[in-house]
């Protein structure tokens, strides 16, 4: 595989970290595989409130799966290089996985990396239809996606073999930034622009945690690496298909450890992106994605000497369905929303960006006719040390940090846009501050805290059960 000069220097610098140096716990089986999900050129693309079609492919998109087996139980961790995976697609994919492999659907976690340079994934949301989701290439992709996800899990099951598991945490605090800011006029701004003199300070924290889970064969050969990081995948733009910065991350780690599949998932990055407002000359596009992926690969490899065995039994899977309240909609809002959407496609005066965002949100909420928004919270755990938490929206970072702080597990990995894609979920205190994420949210105030409470309860239950099992 060809490597540019910069990446080669990085690989040489990281060579001392190429092999984990600590013991690992045994698993009955681990399998890993990927399935190509790159759509045809011309397919409508996701990520923005304007229609655009794929004109080329910079790098391929994949559904990547790790299947874990322990004590007669199997679970699958799947990550897709997509903006999101709608709930209806998750349900169809889980059914296909169960039919093909016998893994119960509830034991399958399907997440999206939130790449903004992939295909639109058709769903019931109003904006997906308006942005090309009803066109034949998008319809065909949505029809094929559940089977492709299931194929990745089936392929991972086909290479299940005894394995060893270890985990560690890295820190990378130079890449991500909270994109909401307290401004001098008393408002809270969203992406207010680089070198903006009216910025006072960020409105929230970041999460620099880089959880790493390493899976090796019984002989120690690398099989798979699971990496999680909290930062929006929106560094590229344009109309070339790309997995964004996880592409470089996986490429570099794969060259450092041949034969290893890197599976990347996204932490709670609802209000986190890569834009450093203090820096006026920051790059963008594929160059920026490669820079970020390279720095993140360095953070991952620095964890290798700290990789340590984690308890691998029992393997548990738990879920809870949380009914989230809807936001309040003014009586005249639906009429205004329809007028805004109509103006968007007409010549002449165009509506402002937040008007468009609010219009599509309004239509989606009204169409629910008062029915709460169901959100699945899923927890998959190994022993009493390692836990994955799946949340189905774009979650504000403080909520993910709260789950980690409250978790009884030493290693808690929070994955957003998992098992559904229900939009932004701000913190309760962000609601009166307004701006993009709040305007866009399809659920009401307090929804994020409800998800936190459900996740924490599931984590406590799983940890107590693991402790009881260890005492037997």
Task: Determine the Cα–Cα distance for residues 427 and 50; give it in Å rounded to an integer.
Answer: 27
Secondary structure (3-state) at 120: coil
Q: What is the pLDDT of residue 458?
A: 99
On the CB side of 344, how many CA atoms lie within 13 Å of its CA? 21
Secondary structure (3-state) at 128: helix
Positive or negative, the CA dihedral 33, 388, 146, 54 is: negative
The answer to pTM > 0.75 is yes
CA 469 from chain centre, in angstroms, equals 31
Q: Which residue has the higher pLDDT, 122 or 51?
A: 51
Task: Determine the Cα–Cα distance for residues 179 and 389; give it in Å rounded to an integer.
Answer: 24
Task: Determine the Cα–Cα distance for residues 145 and 154; give it in Å rounded to an integer.
Answer: 14
C-alpha Rg value of the chain to the nearest Å:
21
Secondary structure (3-state) at 258: coil
Residue 305 has which token pair? Answer: 């000497």
Q: What is the pLDDT of residue 12?
A: 47
Query: Measured between alpha carbons, how far is residue 164 from residues 5, 222, 428 in Å?
Result: 34, 10, 41
pLDDT in tens, 360-419: 999 999 999 999 999 999 999 999 999 999 999 999 999 999 999 999 999 999 999 999
pLDDT band at 266 (very low <50, low <70, confident <90, very high): very high
Q: Which residue has the tokens 């492999």?
A: 101
Q: What is the pLDDT of residue 47?
A: 84
Q: What is the pLDDT of residue 48?
A: 87
Task: Determine the Cα–Cα distance for residues 430 and 3; give it in Å rounded to an integer.
Answer: 44
pLDDT in tens, 134-145: 889 999 999 999
pLDDT in tens, 199-246: 999 999 999 999 999 999 999 999 999 999 999 999 999 999 999 999
The DSSP output letter for 432 is G
């Amino acid at each position: 595989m060809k490597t540019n000069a910069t990446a080669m220097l990085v690989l040489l610098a990281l060579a001392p970290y190429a092999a984990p140096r600590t013991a690992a716990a045994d698993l009955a089986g681990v399998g890993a595989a990927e399935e190509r999900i790159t759509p045809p050129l011309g397919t409508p693309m996701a990520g923005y409130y304007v229609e655009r079609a794929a004109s080329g492919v910079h790098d391929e998109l994949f559904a990547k799966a790790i299947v874990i087996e322990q004590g007669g139980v199997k679970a699958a961790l799947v990550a897709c290089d997509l903006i999101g995976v709608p709930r209806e697609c998750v349900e169809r994919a889980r059914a296909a996985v169960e039919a093909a492999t016998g893994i119960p659907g509830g034991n399958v976690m399907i997440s999206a990396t939130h790449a903004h340079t992939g295909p639109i994934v058709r769903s019931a949301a109003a904006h997906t239809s308006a942005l090309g989701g009803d066109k034949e290439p998008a319809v065909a992709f949505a029809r094929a996606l559940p089977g492709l996800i299931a194929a990745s899990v089936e392929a991972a099951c086909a290479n299940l073999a005894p394995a060893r598991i270890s985990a560690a945490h890295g820190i990378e605090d130079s890449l991500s930034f909270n994109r909401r800011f307290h401004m001098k006029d008393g408002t809270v701004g969203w992406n207010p622009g680089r070198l903006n003199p009216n910025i006072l300070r960020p409105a929230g924290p970041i999460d620099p945690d880089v959880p790493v889970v390493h899976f090796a064969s019984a002989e120690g050969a690398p099989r798979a690496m699971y990496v999680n990081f909290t930062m929006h995948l929106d560094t590229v733009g344009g109309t070339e298909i790309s997995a964004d910065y996880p592409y470089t991350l996986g490429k570099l780690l794969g060259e450092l450890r041949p034969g290893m599949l890197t599976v990347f998932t996204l932490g709670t990055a609802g209000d986190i992106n890569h834009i450093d407002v203090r820096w006026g000359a920051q790059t963008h596009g594929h160059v920026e994605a490669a820079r970020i992926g390279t720095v993140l690969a360095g953070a991952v490899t620095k964890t290798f000497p700290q990789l340590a065995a984690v308890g691998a039994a029992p393997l548990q899977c738990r879920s809870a369905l949380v009914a989230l309240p809807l936001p309040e909609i003014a009586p005249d809002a639906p009429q205004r929303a329809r007028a805004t959407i109509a103006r968007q496609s007409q010549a002449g005066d165009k509506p402002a960006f937040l008007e468009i965002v609010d219009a599509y949100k309004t239509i989606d909420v009204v169409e629910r006719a008062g029915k709460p928004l169901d959100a699945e919270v899923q927890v998959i755990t190994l022993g009493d040390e390692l836990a994955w938490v799946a949340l189905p929206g774009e979650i504000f970072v403080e909520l993910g940090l709260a789950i980690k702080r409250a978790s009884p597990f030493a290693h808690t990995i929070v994955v957003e846009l998992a098992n559904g894609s229900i939009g932004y979920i701000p913190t309760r205190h962000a609601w009166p501050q307004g701006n993009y994420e709040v305007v866009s949210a399809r659920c009401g105030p307090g929804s994020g805290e409800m998800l936190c409470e459900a996740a924490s309860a599931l984590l406590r239950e799983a940890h107590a059960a693991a402790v009881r099992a260890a005492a037997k």
